[in-house]
Chains A and B, each alone.
Chain A
């Protein structure tokens, strides 16, 4: 089993609240990713990082922000949640000695904004 964790697993919150989705991995991977996925739809890369103090935006524009202060930690923050942010958020990491580009995914956070 991959050692990548996400909290919370489920979150229901009101519009305008600030939220932080946590993602941690214990594999020492340099690369970490955040994806957004609506039910039955494709994964969209919204942020990625290739190491400490590096963050990049993905292919899908997102109002969220990320930080990478420690190798193992890659939190995602929404300053003011809106109903359009309702989705599943998946965190992943890669960079071990296994197969090229093998990404290990966390269990996801299902966010509902009322």
Chain B
């Protein structure tokens, strides 16, 4: 399981684009990069997953450079309801367990 490093916390304002970067220098060939979102008193929820280049869905975009040693979750035009903890995970489908790190606590201000 590749170790990930991401900022402990970030603040932003409503309507802005937020980018959260995650470092995973030891990512393996078969590993995918997955991001989860967790609101207080709830379990984490899958946001997006990618292997390389760019992935976009209705919630976010995920940018992965060619060396795959980092990735950036991009949240367009955030609102107060995007205040949550965001976790970056790296692993493949053969992993029996997944480790959630400390995540990034994103606080959106009005």
- Which A residues are in CB contact (< 8 Å) with B98? 33, 45, 94, 101, 103
A contact residues around B36 at 8 Å (CB): 103
List the B side residues contacting A88 at CB < 8 Å: 41
Q: What bracket does the count of chain A residues touching chain B fall in?
A: 20 to 34
Query: Interface with B: A11-19, A62-70, A78-86, A105-113, which one?
Result: A105-113
Q: How far is the CB of A56 from chain B (nearest CB, A)?
A: 7
CB-nearest residue of chain A to B32? A100
User: Is there an interface contact between B43 and A107, defined as CB atoms closer than 8 Å?
Assistant: yes
**A contacts, CB < 8 Å to B:** 31, 33, 35, 42-43, 45, 48, 50, 56, 58-59, 88, 90, 92, 94, 99-108, 110
Which residue of A is nearest B96, CB measured?
A: A50
**Contact across chains for B100 and A105 when beta carbons are under 8 A apart:** no
User: Would A99 and B46 count as touching, CB distance under 8 A?
Assistant: yes
